[in-house]
Amino acid sequence: MQIDTSQVERIVAELQRERAGGPPSPPPLKPPTGGGNFDPMEPRIAVLEADMKHVKDQLSKLSGVPTDLATLKERTSHLPTKAEMQSEIGAQLERLGSRLQRQVAITGGIFTVILAAITLAARFIGH
């Protein structure tokens, strides 16, 4: 009885891999004699080639992206940053608040003058 050492080595390696918790090894390829894993190779290659044509088509559609990004960067480079916007909005709100305070003060002053005039007119007309 003759023992095939390569088969024994393969079995020992598989047992060691299983014991270590690794994935099982794939079945060995059979020689290209018209059977086994070599038969479906041509159809699989044809599918891969068709997929690569699709990938190339999709990549060609993306060829304008760097130009588009450069254009977008150029158009937005002059726009203010978030911090600049917050600073400007804060300054404008502050100016608006002081204008509003002036308007309230002027309106209050006008009402005070009108009230004083009405009060004085009532005293003179009443006596």
Instruction: Give the Cα separation of 5 and 19 in Å (integer).
Output: 21
Contact of 38 with 29, CB cutoff 8 Å: yes
Q: Which of 45, 7, 43, 42 is nearest to 27 (CA)?
A: 7
Contact of 41 with 30, CB cutoff 8 Å: no
For the chain, state the CA radius of gyration: 44
What pTM did the predictor assign? 0.36
Domain boundaries, the chain: 91-127
Q: Tokens 């009060």 label which residue? A: 119
- Residue-wise pLDDT tens digits, 22-70: 776 666 665 555 555 555 677 778 888 888 888 888 888 888 788 888 8
Instruction: Give the Cα separation of 10 and 30 in Å (integer).
Output: 15
Confidence of residue 103 (pLDDT cuts 50, 70, 90): very high
